Chains A and B, each alone.
Chain A
Amino acid sequence: GEDVEQSLFLSVREGDSSVINCTYTDSSSTYLYWYKQEPGAGLQLLTYIFSNMDMKQDQRLTVLLNKKDKHLSLRIADTQTGDSAIYFCAYEDFQKLVFGTGTRLLVSP
């Protein structure tokens, strides 16, 4: 199977919370990352979490890491239409990043 799995789509209403999930197979990565890609643009680093942490909060973003289950999630509070994008999780493999397939978040007004 894939090294990093993400659901393909998520649709939420403006103001709701969004939760994007990711499962991975490699357990040796020191950091795990979340990237955002808006249409026609490159990837923007959103946030990352050190592998010995359970949670990291950064304004509207909360990252949860369950290392035992190899599960990473990104929660976006008070989701806005500007949050509509593709979100990628990634882990490190030596000097490379292994990306998930991306979750397309659609926020409707």
Chain B
Amino acid sequence: SQTIHQWPATLVQPVGSPLSLECTVEGTSNPNLYWYRQAAGRGLQLLFYSVGIGQISSEVPQNLSASRPQDRQFILSSKKLLLSDSGFYLCAWSSAALNQPQHFGDGTRLSIL
């Protein structure tokens, strides 16, 4: 069966520090991968999605970036965090076939001080 792992679960970082959140998927090949941010426990904002290695689509302009160095690995990064980057970050995957649901990781709670 397929599983998705995100880490770390919780992160506290100072303003201006770098960020690296990692997400890996097991049990499937060539998945679509997604990064979302959820502010204040409410709606989800799609940040990035990827349909293949090295292919990243950005949905909103910001100081975050994403990379997909391997088929089942998706990384969210920042060179300098802002206070507004605080939130709950969720990784998700779906099968590459059309009309497939997304499956979510457990999320990373990021607090910027």
Which residues of A are interface residues toward B (Cβ below 8 A)? 30-31, 33, 35, 39-45, 48, 86, 88, 92, 95-97, 99-102
Q: Nearest CB to that of A44 among chain B residues?
A: B104
Q: Nearest CB to that of B6 among chain A residues?
A: A42
The answer to whether A102 touches B99, judged by C-beta atoms less than 8 angstroms apart, is: no
Chain B, range 83-113, C-beta contacts under 8 Å to A: 90, 92, 94, 98-99, 101-107, 109
Q: With a CB–CB cut-off of 8 A, which chain B residues contact A95?
A: 32, 49, 51, 94, 98
| Prevailing SS type, chain A contact patch | strand
Other 13 A-B pairs with CB < 8 A, given A96-B49, A102-B43:
A31-B99, A42-B6, A42-B106, A43-B44, A86-B41, A86-B42, A92-B99, A95-B98, A96-B34, A97-B46, A101-B42, A101-B43, A102-B42
A44 to B104: give the CA distance in the assembly, Å. 7
Q: With a CB–CB cut-off of 8 A, which chain B residues contact A86?
A: 41-42
A88 to B92: give the CA distance in the assembly, Å. 15
Which of B42, B51, B101, B105 makes the CB contact (< 8 A) with A45?
B101
A95 to B55: give the CA distance in the assembly, Å. 14
A41 to B46: give the CA distance in the assembly, Å. 17
Q: Nearest CB to that of B103 among chain A residues?
A: A45
Q: With a CB–CB cut-off of 8 A, which chain A residues contact B99?
A: 30-31, 92
Q: Nearest CB to that of A43 among chain B residues?
A: B104
- List 11 contacting pairs A-B, 8 Å CB cutoff, sorted by A: A31-B99, A31-B101, A35-B104, A42-B6, A48-B101, A88-B43, A95-B51, A95-B98, A99-B44, A101-B42, A102-B43
A33 to B102: give the CA distance in the assembly, Å. 10
Q: With a CB–CB cut-off of 8 A, which chain B residues contact A92?
A: 99
Q: With a CB–CB cut-off of 8 A, which chain B residues contact A41?
A: 106-107
A100 to B90: give the CA distance in the assembly, Å. 16
A46 to B68: give the CA distance in the assembly, Å. 28
